[in-house]
Amino acid sequence: MKFLDVLAGEAISPPPIWLMRQAGRYLPEYRAVRAKAGDFISLCLNPALAEEVTLQPVRKFGFDAAILFSDILILPMALGQGLRFAEGEGPRLPPLEDIGILNPDRAAGVYAPVIETVNRLRGSLPRETALIGFAGGPATVACYMLDGQGGGFCRTRELAYQRPGFVRDVLDILVEATIEYLSAQVQAGADCVMLFESWAGVFPPAQFREFVIEPNRRICAALKVRHKGVRIIGFPRLAGLLLGEYAREAGVDALGLDSVTSIGAARAACPPGMVLQGNLDPLLLKLGGRAMDDAVAQLLDEARGHPHIVNLGHGITPDVPEAHVARLVELVRRG
Ligand code: CP3
């Protein structure tokens, strides 16, 4: 499988491609299934429908990998924190005050349908398409649990200074729960897993080390003991100058890059041979045309001769025309 060969460190031209949020609202067939499911959480917890929306973008564009359809906030919900998605506003949780409401023992029962989706996908995906399982990185999930919504994560950042013990307790629970959750996904047939630390960049260096790198390291180490040879992609978004330290210490096999990090700078900061994934600006996929064509050509040039998986620097937005996605795949396949 081309995707897994690159993840193992091989430089392959043309490189494999998949896109973060490749299943989503820019696809009319996704919107149809989502309407049938009623709401987003019900869709995540319905194995037949989640399987279908995972497959849609692979069928349409022939991506080299499929990513399990679910959400990083299913885990805190499974642990017992309320979760709802406000229409057009994003996720809402009751900001966590007391870790006593979290019950790791019940989590597996709640996320069982997600594991069932992985099981089904293993049977229905084309043999040449890799299946990516995922979870949120503990720091990112804690941001949503403590603030209750996206935005500046002010409460989380204040707590990190004023009640670090509380933040540590939340992270400890998340590390253990994430190991179990990802381990179940690998056992059910995920070829590799990705840790989405989308808000890693809100933490200053000392906290980045303690709240991002160390918990990610514990998860990677445990998964590698349990599942020999399992590959892990880390996505410490907006890590800036701490990217190299993350790459050396977290124990990931590949690094997802955001769009503000240059491929050359990332390569210089990382151990030799580090597999990179990314990092087109999602805005270019909305714009298409000359701007996108030029950026893709430049990315392919920078990636040539190195292990690289083409992706965006963050998720696809709902306003992306499908034709631009098809064009991107065509350009990448030409090499
Ligand atoms: O195709 C895929 O990439 C797989 C599925 C996936 C989703 N969310 C589906 C989704 C994955 C891997 C995620 C990860 C996720 N979820 C992250 C990390 C990556 C990132 O984007 O930074 C985060 C922070 C979340 C939390 C989350 N989920 C937010 C903030 C939102 C609202 C924003 C929005 O786009 O509406 C979601 C909702 C969500 N997750 C949607 C999808 C397809 C849209 C829901 C809908 O259909 O209404």
Average pLDDT, rounded, for the chain = 97
Counting from 1 in the atom list of ligand 1, the atom nearest the Cα of 198 is 22
pLDDT at 302 over 90: yes
End-to-end CA distance of the chain: 18
Under CATH, what is the fold of the domain 2-334? TIM Barrel (3.20.20)
pLDDT at site 131: 98
| pLDDT single digits (tens) 238-284 | 999 999 999 999 999 999 999 999 999 999 999 999 999 999 999 99
Going from the Cα of 305 to the center of ligand 1, the distance in angstroms, rounded, reads 32
Tell me which residue of 311, 319, 326 sits closest to 20, measured CA to CA.
Answer: 311
Ligand 1, atom 20: nearest CA belongs to which residue? 198
Asked if residues 25 and 43 have their Cβ atoms less than 8 Å apart, the reply is no
| pLDDT single digits (tens) 153-196 | 999 999 999 999 999 999 999 999 999 999 999 999 999 999 99
Residue that the structure tokens 């590799």 belong to: 192
pLDDT at 87 over 90: no
Ligand 1, atom 48: nearest CA belongs to which residue? 40
pLDDT at site 88: 82
CA distance 206 to 47: 40
| pLDDT single digits (tens) 33-81 | 999 999 999 999 999 999 999 999 999 999 999 999 999 999 999 999 9
Q: What average pLDDT does range 317-326 have in this prediction? A: 98
Model-level pTM greater than 0.95? yes
| pLDDT single digits (tens) 113-154 | 999 999 999 999 999 999 999 999 999 999 999 999 999 999
Catalytic residue annotation: 21, 25, 34, 71, 144
Q: Largest Cα–Cα distance in the chain?
A: 54
Asked if residues 135 and 195 have their Cβ atoms less than 8 Å apart, the reply is yes
Q: Which of 39, 40, 67, 71 to mutate for ligand 1's pocket (most ligand atoms within 8 Å of CB)?
A: 71
Counting from 1 in the atom list of ligand 1, the atom nearest the Cα of 43 is 47
- Burial (CB < 10 A; 0-12, 13-18, 19+), residue 7, is buried
For the chain, the domains span 2-334
What is the Cα Rg of the chain in Å?
Answer: 19
